[in-house]
């Protein structure tokens, strides 16, 4: 099994930045994807950004392109999400997730393992 623990959430004013991290431990698949999802109160969970472990290909939702950046450390044990130019509509619980194989995307059904989430609040 894979254990995912997010950190780095908090409160920030619009236009500010935050960096979320996700520490992964447990089993390491030979090919997998990791992603960030978010869910605001009363809304469905949506994919924000993802990365493929094999070649580093990244994926972003249109709503965050140019503002958010997803990366893994060299050991691939930590997934990061750098969030710039934050907007009030970015307010949500942010979740880290990992697949059990190398098919990637921003749809939640690809992902088998999930963290508990870290909250992000952006005030205007």
* pLDDT tens digit sequence for 8-23: 999 999 999 999 999 9
Q: Phi first, then psi: what are they for 64, rounded to 5°?
A: -120, -5
Report how far residue 48's alpha carbon sits from residue 22's, in angstroms, rounded to the nearest whole number: 14
Q: Phi first, then psi: what are they for 103, rounded to 5°?
A: -85, 120
Q: What is the pLDDT of residue 31?
A: 86
Cβ neighbours of residue 114 closer than 8 Å, sequence gap 6 or more: 4, 95, 96, 97
Report how far residue 3's alpha carbon sits from residue 11's, in angstroms, rounded to the nearest whole number: 25
Report how far residue 66's alpha carbon sits from residue 58's, in angstroms, rounded to the nearest whole number: 12
Cβ neighbours of residue 109 closer than 8 Å, sequence gap 6 or more: none
What is the percent of the chain where pLDDT is above 70? 100
pLDDT tens-digit series, residues 9-68: 999 999 999 999 999 999 888 889 999 999 999 999 999 999 998 878 999 999 999 999
């Amino acid at each position: 099994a894979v254990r995912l623990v997010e950190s780095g959430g908090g409160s920030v004013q619009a236009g500010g930045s935050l960096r979320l991290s996700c520490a992964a431990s447990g089993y390491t698949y030979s090919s997998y994807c990791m992603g960030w999802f978010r869910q605001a109160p009363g809304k469905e969970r949506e994919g924000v950004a993802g990365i493929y472990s094999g070649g580093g290909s990244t994926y972003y939702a249109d709503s965050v392109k140019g503002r958010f950046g997803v990366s893994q450390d060299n050991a691939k044990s930590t997934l990061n999400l750098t969030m710039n130019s934050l907007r009030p509509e970015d307010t949500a619980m942010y979740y880290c997730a990992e697949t059990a194989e190398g098919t990637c995307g921003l749809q939640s059904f690809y992902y088998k393992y999930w963290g508990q989430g870290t909250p992000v609040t952006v005030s205007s």
